[in-house]
Amino acid sequence: MQRIEKAPAKINLSLDALYLHEDGEPEWQMVMTSIDLADYVQITLRNDPAIKVRTSSGFLPEDQRNLAYKAAHLLQHKYQIKTGALIEIEKHIPVAAGLGGGSSDAAAVLRILNELWHLGLTRAELAHLGLQIDSDVPYCVYGETALVTGKGDQIRPLGGLPNFWLVVVKPDISVSTPRIVRALDCQQIKQHPQTNALIDAIRTDDLTAMIQNMANVLTPITTARFPVIDQLCDRLLQFGADGAQMSGSGPTVFGICRQYSRAQRIYNSMSGFCSEVYLVQPLKP
Ligand code: ATP
């Protein structure tokens, strides 16, 4: 038996950390949405119990370090499944970019094996399990615009977004999320996103207010190490984006444009000095 699914990238319209739990994990408050830049995850069931991972990327681990492997192993072990799986991942999402690519692959594996192994788990149950893999997996199980709180495990879908285009720019650097999060001091945060106002703006289809209330509290930490991130946001705004922000722990930034024609011009301009640039839209619910 075989099945293939899209595993979309996510961006953070907002990212806030309210306080640190005793284990050092932040209490997150984030608005995330998925975009039409996606990996493809295909799973073929095996008769033996082995879990095998193959990726189209030349440098990603294909053993138990791969988040897709972890997801399959978690379900197989918990539900005492006797069959194994061949997981083939066609990578399109840049790695270690703040776009949640590994988490989205893992979430796709959870969704597919829930079906192929007839586990009958709800989305909430899959999301709860996904937290054991990475804090972004619960969101990716849902994959729709949502408020994400707790350690990443509380997901509240928010419905549709105002219409806009995104110019997504990934500079040629990789960022370690754990390293950035370890440097976070919740007392020192200068600019929090206005999360409630952001949610109201989404509900009332008000793109201007949505952009005004976005922010990412990890930006100062990542840009202190990689100033190019600030420069890219400035460029996006200079070229005419209505708003610009870093996603996750970076280094990817995105510009928001009301009009397609302007997004296309900005895409062309940014492509002049950055090799990984994407012109995409948020996924429709
Ligand atoms: P997050 O913001 O969720 O931490 P990210 O977008 O910054 O994610 P990923 O692309 O998910 O980063 O990769 C983070 C790490 O996970 C990398 O070091 C990578 O080697 C590892 N990894 C394991 N499995 C995968 C996978 N299937 N796809 C991408 N990276 C993976």
Which amino acid, one-letter code, is at 116?
A: L
Q: How far is CA 266 from CA 9, 164, 195, 269, in A?
A: 21, 14, 28, 5
User: Is-catalytic flag, 136?
Assistant: yes
Residue 94 among known ligand-binding residues: yes
Residue 96 among known ligand-binding residues: yes
Report d(CA 144, CA 140) in Å as an integer: 8
Which amino acid, one-letter code, is at 259?
A: Q
Catalytic residue among 16, 136, 153, 242: 136
Task: Specify the residue with its C-alpha closest to ligand 1, atom 20.
Answer: 60
Task: Specify the residue with its C-alpha closest to ligand 1, atom 15.
Answer: 96
Indicate the CATH number for domain 165-280: 3.30.70.890
pLDDT of the residue at 218: 97
Q: Is 60 in the pocket of ligand 1 (CB under 6 A)?
A: yes
Query: Which residue in this structure is represented by tokens 């499944």?
Result: 81
User: Is-catalytic flag, 153?
Assistant: no
pLDDT of the residue at 285: 78
Q: Is 66 in the pocket of ligand 1 (CB under 6 A)?
A: yes
Model confidence pLDDT, tens digit, residues 62-87 = 999 999 999 999 999 999 999 999 99
Model confidence pLDDT, tens digit, residues 202-251 = 999 999 999 999 999 999 999 999 999 999 999 999 999 999 999 999 99
Model-level pTM?
0.96
Establish whether the linkage from the previous residue to 94 is cis, with ω within 30° of 0.
Answer: no
Q: Tell me: domain 2-157, CATH 3.30.230.10, correct?
A: yes
Hey, where are the domains in the chain?
2-157, 165-280
How crowded is residue 90: how many other Cβ atoms within 10 Å of its Cβ? 15
